[in-house]
Structure 1
C-alpha cells in the first residue's frame, strides 16, 4: 500500500497525517467536486482531470477507513524508518501513555505532535527478539525496541522495553 514511488496519499488530498477524518473528508469532497468527470463538460483537460479524480478517490478509500488508514500510516512510517534518521531520544515504553481506544502507546513530541507505537508492533518485535535470544541473555534483562517517527515532524525516538516484564499494554 505504501510504495516509495507511490504518491503520498495525504498530499493527494492536500492534507497531512495529523488531519482528522472530518478534515480529510472535507478535502476529498472539495477535490471530488472539482475533478469529477460528470462536472467537466467538454473541457480539453478532461483526461488529466479524470486521472486526478481517480487518484483522489483511491486516496480517500484508504484514508477514509480507520483500519486501512492505520495500515497505510504504519507502512509509511516503516518506509521512512528505512532512511537514516537521527534518533532524538530513547523512551521507555512504560513512560508512554496507554491509549485504550486506539490500542497504542503515545508520547508527546516537542513540536506538539505524537509518537505512537501499537500493541501489535510491540508484540511482534518482542516475539522476534525472544526468538533471537538464548536463556542466559533473558536472565540478564534483555530489552527490545523500535524506532518511532513523530506524526507531524521529522524527529525519531527509540522506544525500548524489558523482555522480562509484563507489558502494561495488556490491560
Structure 2
C-alpha cells in the first residue's frame, strides 16, 4: 500500500506523527507562506523553481495530513510499511471475530495492551476491489483476502482475513 520511495509527509511539514491538527496546520501555513509562488515574484530562476516544487510538496502533504480520514489511512500505511520491514505479525484474526461498530462503520478488535485494532468497512471494500481480475476466475468458489492492521497504542499488529465467495454480496 505504501511506496518505499514516497517521502514522509510529516518530515515534509517538519512535524511529528504525534502533532495535533492545529500544530500541523501551523507548520503548513509557515511553509506555504515561505514557498508560495506569489512571494517569489516573476523570476524563473532555479531557486524559484525549487521553491515552487517545495510549495507543491508541502501542499500535497497538508492535503493528506489535514483531513482526519486521509491522515488515519496514511498513518496506517506508514505503520504497515514499518512492520513489513522488521516486525512480525502478532496474530491472524478473521473479520467475523471482530466487533462491528454500526455508528462508526468500523470493525474493532481489542489488543492485549488495552488499545485496539480498527478496520473500516471502506478499507475492507477497497482491499476487495483491489483484488486482481485474474484472481476472480470462474472456477474459483472462495478467495481469502487480508490486510495488516496496527494497534492504535502499541507496536503490535494483526493480519485480518476474510473470505470472499461468489455468493458474498457484502462487497459488491
Q: TM-score range by the shorter chain?
A: 0.5 to 0.7
Q: Aligned equivalents of 2:100 and 2:113: distance in 1?
A: 20
Report the Cα offset of residue 157 of structure 1.
Answer: 0.7
- The equivalences for 1:80-159 within 5 A come to 80=82, 83=85, 85-100=87-102, 102-109=104-111, 114-123=116-125, 131=136, 134=140, 144-150=145-151, 154-159=155-160
Shift of 1:87: 0.8
CA RMSD, Structure 1 to Structure 2 (Å): 4.6
- C-alpha distance in 1, partners of 2:159/2:37? 47
Q: Given that residues 64 and 74 in structure 2 are in contact (C-alpha distance below 8 angstroms), is that contact kept between their aligned partners in structure 1?
A: yes
TM-score (norm: length of structure 2) = 0.55
* Distance verdict in 2 for CA 1:155–1:101, change over 3 Å: same
Flag the 1:102–1:52 CA change in 2: closer, same or farther, 3 A.
Answer: farther
Which residue does the alignment assign to 1:12? 12
- Within a 5 Å distance, the mapping from 1:156-171 to structure 2 comes to 156-161=157-162
Flag structure 2 segments of 5+ consecutive residues without an equivalent: 41-46
* CA displacement 1:11-46 (0-9 Å, x = unmatched): 322131x65544432332344355556779xxxxx7
Is the 1:15–1:27 contact (alpha carbons within 8 Å) kept by the matching residues of 2? no
> Distance in 2 between the 1:50 and 1:26 partners?
19
Distance 2:144 2:29 in 1: 46
